[in-house]
């Protein structure tokens, strides 16, 4: 149980098993108290969120390119749901296409993180993102800080 | 009874013998003495014989004496007397009319006759008894004769009196009738006796029974004229006796105008009566008044219509002009005496000769033809006059005069001129119209056919004028509907074909159908309906249209084919972006992981190989990403927005902050404009150009990048893409880098063109191709200028008004 505003329950939706494994590893390494729940695609994620069997996450990492229900669709449904709309959503995708970034911003994502090509970078990202103040999160994002850049951190 | 006694008394005992004696012996002497006595007694009827000679008189005397004496001798006196009085009554007298006989003639003639018969008694007998007997018998004859003649005389006088009376009465009646006809009456005003008489005409004029007194008459005289009338009467009575007055008389709500004239008779210098006439001159007065008014009207009419008239007496040279004619010439009416010279001087110099020859011609032909001339009026205006006239001449042509009228037609003339010019202009327009123009009337009879129509249909204007358009130009199968449509419009005023352009089939002279674009409009001229048709041969256009339609259809199918291909490409992009990048990323991440976990255990050479795997795969990743950007750089999908390029630049600098810091690069930019563009593409453009400038810098030298912008007109730019009329923003991105050879200025914008070794300058050869494509999407273009090691300058142009 986190004493401060640090997230305790974190969700990850990603169809890539390697990425899920590495993500779990890095989260465990950065903060072992975090309860990480993984979903294998968008559809599973939403079912889990809507079932009520799981505590709602304080932070959700969302891949864009997933089978069954992609990340953008999930984001849209979450933002349109009274119960889920306040969950902070971090896009976690390989895409660096401006269009994807822009769409995500428009649909109400809070941060856009490109999947790194080294574990070192991943660790770095996890630390930085989890250190951010998410408990007092307000659905207001500034466009030029929307894309997370580990160089600037 | 009486005549019987008289008869017996006129049988004479001695007279026949004495008469016979005289007949035989003294006839000439007797006639002679009778003439002598007639002269002595100065018998009045003698004057009727003034033209007779002495012998003629004596012969006449002998003849009458012989007749008398013969009657005596035969004792037929009674018959003689009857014959003589009958002769007289029947007016069978010699040389004079019976009415000319006066009573004296009868008594003196009787006396002379008796005296003459007695003269020769002494020579016939000396027996006093017989002388007495004969004298008595002569007296008896004379008494009977005188009685008979006087009887006839009286009868004649009676007849004459009667006749005269009748005549008088007739004259009186004629007079009254005349008076009535002339609305005239006569009066006699007796001042002494107070008795006055009037003809009925007077009472009729004054509409009165009688005139009791002058004062009672005066009350009907118009108030304004009473004093005048009174004065006229007083003046006649006291002065010259002549009375004449015109006055108004008002009775029964009628006003009459009376003219009266009279003469006063004086006795002992005091007036006793006045005779005179009165006349109702109301009608005459009105007629005169009307005449005066019509003259006035004529004057006004002249002024209104600007018609003046003139008379030119050729014999005297005198010229009369009406007031209006003076005004036409800009002169005060009758302000000067008009002369030929003065008039001729006012004629426009160009028209003088013509007018002069016209006048000369008029004088020889005695006819004035209508003429038109210009004058220079005294007020300085040039006017156009039109005139008519005639020559009035006597037989000798000595007293010749020209009379005529003259009208100022300047306005009309100018209007006509203007109208004619307009007409000419219209004609010109129709004749040179690029379209065929046909005008038809309500019966579809052709009344206009311009040259272009001749060209299109092959018929000349002469061939079709006055003919039915329906029969000439309309294909037989359409004639019925043409007539119906025309009829329908004429009946209802509603048409489905007027004022819109239709495509119809028509016939040319060769009877071939062809396609025509037809527009009909309706117009009125002088109250008659006209239809104006504009036609254009559209055979060619129709063919072109058909071809175009085919072309369009094939284009459309090609388009949809292209769209399909595009979609395939897009999905390929998507596959490329994820499915190609993911394995690469995995290669990298696990290669890193191996090096990280097994640090110190792995031999150096192996570490080196792993690093090469990482480098190669990351270059491939970059290549894929650049290719994706390139293929996604399209104009179609993204929306143009007003983009503040200053914000774009600052974003880009932010993105490049690491390398800027690393290379200590300086980027200086002018204030950039807001341009309607695709935001991402602008970012990409600036990113590529600036990152290139930083990348291709001299080692050890800080990159210096300068961005300058200004406006430039299209026609000033030497580039095949530059639009002459468009105004462009010219952006200049200048650096102090390694540059490149001028020969590569165009090549560098091609895909995968790299000028440098990838180990020295890491790149994919796609960046500038993307830039070129972005500018192409914006109707702009990009060029480069450089020299090896002297830096390069990129110019790119964006239209100021981007049309989406």
pLDDT at A57: 92
B233 pLDDT above the threshold of 70: yes
B3 pLDDT above the threshold of 60: no
Is B680 in contact with A120 (Cβ distance < 8 A)? no
Residue B614 lies in a domain: no
Of residues B255 and B570, which shows the higher confidence score? B255
Q: What is the CATH number of the domain that holds B141?
A: 1.10.490
pLDDT at B798: 94
> Where does the pLDDT of residue B215 fall: very low under 50, low under 70, confident under 90, or very high at 90 and above?
confident
A139 pLDDT above the threshold of 70: no
Q: Considering only B167-176, B242-251, B434-443, B698-707, which range has the smallest mean pLDDT?
A: B167-176
Closest CA of chain A from B685, distance in Å: 13
Cβ contacts of B459 within 8 Å, gap of 6 or more: B449, B453, B472, B508, B509
- Average pLDDT of B329-342? 88
For residue range A100-120, list pLDDT tens digits in order: 888 999 998 999 998 988 888
Residue B568 lies in a domain: no
Is A95 in contact with B577 (Cβ distance < 8 A)? yes
Choose from B573, B589, B650 for mutation: most chain A CBs within 10 A: B589
- Average pLDDT of B659-670? 92
B603 pLDDT above the threshold of 90: no
Closest CA of chain B from A152, distance in Å: 8
Q: Considering only A103-112, B159-168, B286-295, B572-581, which range has the smallest mean pLDDT?
A: B572-581
Of residues B238 and B397, which shows the higher confidence score? B238
Nearest by CB to A94, from B582, B651, B684: name it: B582
Is A118 in contact with B680 (Cβ distance < 8 A)? no
- Average pLDDT of B499-524? 89
Nearest by CB to A144, from B588, B628, B654: name it: B654
B721 pLDDT above the threshold of 70: yes
Q: Which residues of A touch B654 (CB under 8 A)?
A: 144
Is A99 in contact with B596 (Cβ distance < 8 A)? no
Report the distance separating Cα B553 and Cα B548, nearest Å: 8
Percent of chain A whose pLDDT exceeds 90: 46
Beta-bridged to residue B401, according to DSSP, are: B313, B392
Helix, strand, coil percent content, chain A, rounded in steps of 5: 40, 15, 45
Which chain B residue lies closest to A97 (C-alpha atoms)? B629
pLDDT at B144: 87
Count of C-beta atoms within a 10 Å radius of residue B758: 11
CATH 3.40.50.300 fits A9-145, yes or no: no
Which chain B residue lies closest to A17 (C-alpha atoms)? B586
Closest CA of chain B from A151, distance in Å: 8
B12 pLDDT above the threshold of 90: no
Whose structure tokens read 């993307």? Answer: B770
pLDDT at B793: 95
Nearest partner of B733 among B650, B795, B652, judged by Cα: B795
Is A94 in contact with B654 (Cβ distance < 8 A)? no
Q: Are B264 and B273 in contact (CB under 8 A)?
A: yes
B172 pLDDT above the threshold of 50: yes
Q: What is the CATH number of the domain that holds B240?
A: 3.30.450.20
Q: Are B91 and B104 in contact (CB under 8 A)?
A: no
pLDDT at B1: 39
Q: Are B535 and B505 in contact (CB under 8 A)?
A: no
Q: Check whether residue B518 and residue B404 sit in a common domain.
A: no
- Average pLDDT of B570-595? 81
Report the distance separating Cα B242 and Cα B261, nearest Å: 8
Residue B630 lies in a domain: no
Q: Which residues of B touch A94 (CB under 8 A)?
A: 577-578, 581-582, 585
Report the distance separating Cα B107 and Cα B110, nearest Å: 5
Q: Check whether residue B791 and residue B642 sit in a common domain.
A: yes
pLDDT at B2: 43
Report the distance separating Cα B631 and Cα B649, nearest Å: 23
Report the distance separating Cα A53 and Cα A13, nearest Å: 17
Q: Which residues of B touch A116 (CB under 8 A)?
A: 589
Of residues B94 and B642, which shows the higher confidence score? B642
In Å, how far from its chain's centre is CA B503? 42
Q: Considering only B189-198, B365-374, B585-594, which range has the smallest mean pLDDT?
A: B189-198
Nearest by CB to A120, from B581, B592, B654: name it: B592
Nearest by CB to B585, from A94, A98, A152: name it: A94
Q: Considering only A89-103, B215-229, B618-632, which range has the smallest mean pLDDT?
A: B618-632
B330: Cα within 13 Å, side-chain hemisphere: 14
A88 pLDDT above the threshold of 50: yes
pLDDT at A140: 61
Q: Check whether residue B641 and residue B767 sit in a common domain.
A: yes
Q: Is B16 helix (H, G, I), strand (E, B) or coil?
A: helix
Residue B598 lies in a domain: no
Q: Check whether residue B297 and residue B203 sit in a common domain.
A: no
Whose structure tokens read 């500034």? Answer: A142
Q: Which residues of B touch A16 (CB under 8 A)?
A: 582
Q: Check whether residue B773 and residue B712 sit in a common domain.
A: yes
Beta-bridged to residue B390, according to DSSP, are: B403
Residues belonging to chain B: 804
Is A152 in contact with B588 (Cβ distance < 8 A)? no
B666-669 vs B704-713, strand pairing mode: parallel
> B638-669 burial, b for 16+ CB within 10 Å, e for fewer?
bebeebebeebbebbbebbeeebeebebebeb
Whose structure tokens read 């990280």? Answer: B596
Nearest by CB to A119, from B578, B593, B632: name it: B593
- Average pLDDT of B634-638? 64
Residues of chain A whose beta carbon is less than 8 angstroms from a beta carbon of chain B are: 16, 18, 22, 65, 94-99, 102, 115-120, 122, 144, 151-152
Q: Which residues of B touch A18 (CB under 8 A)?
A: 586, 589
Residues belonging to chain A: 153
Q: Check whether residue B661 and residue B793 sit in a common domain.
A: yes
pLDDT at B786: 92
Choose from A100, A118, A124, A145 for mutation: most chain B CBs within 10 A: A118
**Structural domain ending residue among the three candidates B259, B280, B301:** B280
- Average pLDDT of B602-618? 86
B137: Cα within 13 Å, side-chain hemisphere: 25
Q: Which residues of A touch B585 (CB under 8 A)?
A: 94, 115, 117
Is B625 in contact with A96 (Cβ distance < 8 A)? yes
pLDDT at B804: 41
Q: Check whether residue B265 and residue B326 sit in a common domain.
A: no
Q: Which residues of B touch A97 (CB under 8 A)?
A: 577, 628, 632
pLDDT at B410: 86
B436-441 vs B528-537, strand pairing mode: antiparallel
Q: Is the dihedral of CA B85, B86, B91, B92 positive or negative?
A: negative
Closest CA of chain A from B566, distance in Å: 17
- Average pLDDT of B695-708? 92
Is B632 in contact with A97 (Cβ distance < 8 A)? yes
> Where does the pLDDT of residue B802 fall: very low under 50, low under 70, confident under 90, or very high at 90 and above?
low
Which chain A residue lies closest to B585 (C-alpha atoms)? A117
**Structural domain ending residue among the three candidates B232, B260, B280:** B280
> Where does the pLDDT of residue A1 fall: very low under 50, low under 70, confident under 90, or very high at 90 and above?
very low
Q: Considering only A135-139, B420-424, B454-458, which range has the smallest mean pLDDT?
A: A135-139
- Average pLDDT of B334-350? 89
Can you give the residue range of the structural domain that contains B762? 635-799
Residue B402 lies in a domain: yes
Closest CA of chain B from A40, distance in Å: 17
Of residues B467 and B567, which shows the higher confidence score? B467
B776 pLDDT above the threshold of 60: yes
B726 Cβ under 8 Å from any chain A Cβ? no
Percent of chain B whose pLDDT exceeds 90: 15
Residue B423 lies in a domain: no
Q: Which helix (H) or strand (E) holds B488?
A: helix B476-492
Which chain A residue lies closest to B683 (C-alpha atoms)? A98
pLDDT at B801: 75
Q: Which residues of A touch B593 (CB under 8 A)?
A: 118-119
Residue B254 lies in a domain: yes
A89-93 vs A59-62, strand pairing mode: parallel
Report the distance separating Cα B469 and Cα B475, nearest Å: 11
Give whichever of A65-79, B366-380, B625-639 has the largest mean pLDDT. Answer: A65-79
Is A99 in contact with B593 (Cβ distance < 8 A)? no
Q: Mean pLDDT of all residues in chain B? A: 86
Q: Which residues of A touch B584 (CB under 8 A)?
A: 117
Q: Which residues of B touch A106 (CB under 8 A)?
A: none
Q: Check whether residue B770 and residue B655 sit in a common domain.
A: yes
Q: Which residues of B touch A21 (CB under 8 A)?
A: none
Q: Check whether residue B275 and residue B293 sit in a common domain.
A: no
Q: Which two tokens stand for residue B37?
A: 């006595």
Q: Check whether residue B454 and residue B326 sit in a common domain.
A: no
Residue B740 lies in a domain: yes
Q: Which residues of B touch A22 (CB under 8 A)?
A: 589
Nearest by CB to B596, from A18, A65, A120: name it: A120
- Average pLDDT of A23-44? 92
In DSSP notation, A61-98 reads: EE-SS-SSS-HHHHHHHHHH-TTTTTS-EEEEES---H
Number of domains in chain B: 5
């Amino acid at each position: 149980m986190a004493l401060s505003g640090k997230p305790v329950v974190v969700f990850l939706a990603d169809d890539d098993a390697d990425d899920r494994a590495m993500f779990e590893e890095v989260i465990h390494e950065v903060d072992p108290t975090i309860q990480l729940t993984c979903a294998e695609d968008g559809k599973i994620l939403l079912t889990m969120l809507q079932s009520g069997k799981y505590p709602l996450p304080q932070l959700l990492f969302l891949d864009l390119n997933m089978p069954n229900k992609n990340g953008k669709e999930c984001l849209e449904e979450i933002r349109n749901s009274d119960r889920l709309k306040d969950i902070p959503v971090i896009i976690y995708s390989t895409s660096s296409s401006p269009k994807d970034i822009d769409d995500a911003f428009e649909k109400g994502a809070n941060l856009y993180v490109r999947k790194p090509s080294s574990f070192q970078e991943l660790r770095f990202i996890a630390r930085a993102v989890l250190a951010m103040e998410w408990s007092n999160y307000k659905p207001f994002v500034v466009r030029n800080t929307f894309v997370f850049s580990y160089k600037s951190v | 009874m009486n005549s019987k006694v008289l008869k017996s008394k006129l049988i004479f005992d001695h007279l026949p013998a004495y008469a016979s004696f005289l007949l035989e012996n003294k006839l000439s002497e007797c006639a002679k003495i009778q003439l002598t006595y007639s002269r002595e007694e100065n018998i009045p009827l003698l004057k009727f014989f003034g033209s007779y000679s002495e012998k003629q008189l004596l012969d006449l005397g002998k003849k009458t004496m012989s007749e008398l004496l013969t009657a005596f001798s035969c004792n037929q006196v009674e018959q003689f007397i009857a014959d003589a009085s009958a002769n007289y009554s029947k007016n069978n007298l010699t040389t004079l009319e019976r009415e000319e006989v006066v009573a004296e003639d009868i008594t003196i003639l009787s006396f002379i006759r008796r005296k003459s018969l007695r003269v020769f008694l002494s020579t016939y007998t000396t027996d006093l008894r017989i002388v007495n007997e004969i004298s008595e018998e002569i007296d008896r004859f004379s008494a009977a004769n005188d009685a008979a003649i006087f009887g006839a005389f009286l009868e004649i006088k009676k007849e004459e009196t009667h006749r005269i009376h009748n005549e008088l009465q007739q004259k009186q009646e004629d007079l009254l009738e005349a008076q009535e006809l002339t609305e005239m009456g006569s009066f006699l005003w007796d001042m002494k006796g107070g008795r006055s008489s009037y003809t009925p005409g007077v009472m009729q004029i004054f509409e009165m029974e009688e005139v009791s007194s002058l004062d009672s008459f005066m009350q009907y005289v118009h108030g304004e004229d009473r004093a005048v009338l009174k004065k006229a009467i007083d003046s006649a009575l006291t002065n010259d006796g002549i009375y004449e007055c015109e006055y108004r008389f008002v009775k029964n709500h009628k006003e009459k105008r009376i003219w009266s004239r009279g003469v006063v008779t004086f006795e002992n210098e005091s007036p006793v009566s006045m005779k005179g006439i009165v006349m109702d001159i109301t009608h005459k007065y009105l007629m005169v008044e009307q005449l005066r008014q019509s003259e006035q009207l004529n004057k006004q009419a002249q002024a209104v219509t600007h018609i003046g008239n003139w008379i030119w007496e050729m014999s005297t040279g005198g010229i009369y002009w009406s007031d209006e004619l003076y005004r036409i010439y800009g002169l005060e009416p009758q302000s000067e005496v008009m002369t030929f010279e003065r008039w001729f001087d006012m004629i426009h110099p160009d028209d003088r000769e013509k007018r002069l020859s016209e006048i000369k011609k008029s004088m020889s032909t005695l006819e004035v033809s209508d003429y038109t001339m210009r004058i220079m009026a005294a007020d300085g205006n040039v006017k156009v006059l039109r005139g008519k006239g005639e020559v009035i001449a006597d037989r000798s042509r000595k007293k010749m005069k020209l009379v005529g009228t003259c009208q100022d037609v300047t306005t009309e003339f100018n209007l006509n001129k203007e109208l004619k010019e307009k007409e000419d202009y219209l004609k010109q327009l129709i004749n040179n119209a690029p379209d065929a123009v046909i005008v038809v009337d309500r019966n579809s009879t052709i009344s206009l056919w311009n040259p272009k129509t001749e060209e299109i249909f092959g018929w000349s204007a002469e061939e079709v004028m006055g003919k039915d358009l329906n029969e000439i130009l309309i294909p037989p199968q359409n004639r019925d509907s043409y007539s119906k449509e025309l009829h329908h419009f004429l009946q209802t005023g509603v048409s489905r074909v007027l004022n819109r352009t239709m495509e119809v089939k028509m016939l040319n002279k060769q009877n071939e159908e062809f396609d025509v674009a037809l527009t009909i409009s309706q117009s009125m001229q002088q109250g008659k309906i006209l239809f104006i048709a504009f036609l254009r041969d559209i055979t060619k256009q129709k063919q072109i249209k058909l071809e175009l339609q085919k072309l369009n259809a094939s284009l459309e199918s090609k388009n949809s084919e292209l769209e399909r291909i595009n979609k395939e490409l897009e999905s390929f992009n998507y596959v490329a972006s994820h499915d190609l990048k993911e394995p690469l990323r995995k290669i990298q991440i696990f290669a890193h992981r191996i090096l990280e976990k097994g640090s110190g255990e792995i031999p150096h050479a192996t570490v080196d190989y792993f690093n090469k795997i990482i480098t190669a795969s990351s270059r491939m990743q970059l290549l894929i990403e650049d290719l994706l950007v390139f293929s996604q750089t399209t104009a179609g999908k993204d929306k143009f927005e007003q983009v503040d390029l200053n914000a774009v630049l600052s974003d880009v600098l932010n993105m490049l902050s690491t390398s800027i810091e690393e290379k200590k690069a300086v980027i200086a930019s002018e204030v950039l404009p807001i341009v309607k563009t695709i935001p991402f593409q602008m970012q990409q453009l600036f990113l590529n150009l600036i990152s290139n400038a930083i990348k291709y810098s001299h080692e050890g030298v800080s990159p210096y990048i300068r961005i300058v912008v200004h406006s430039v007109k299209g026609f000033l730019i030497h580039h095949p893409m530059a639009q002459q009329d468009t105004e462009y923003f010219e952006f200049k991105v200048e650096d102090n880098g390694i540059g490149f050879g001028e020969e590569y200025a165009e090549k560098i914008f091609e895909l995968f063109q790299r000028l440098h070794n990838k180990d020295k300058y890491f790149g994919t050869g796609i960046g500038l191709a993307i830039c070129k494509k972005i500018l192409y999407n914006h109707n702009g273009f990009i060029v480069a200028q450089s020299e090896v090691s002297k830096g390069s300058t990129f110019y790119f142009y964006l239209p100021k008004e981007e049309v989406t």
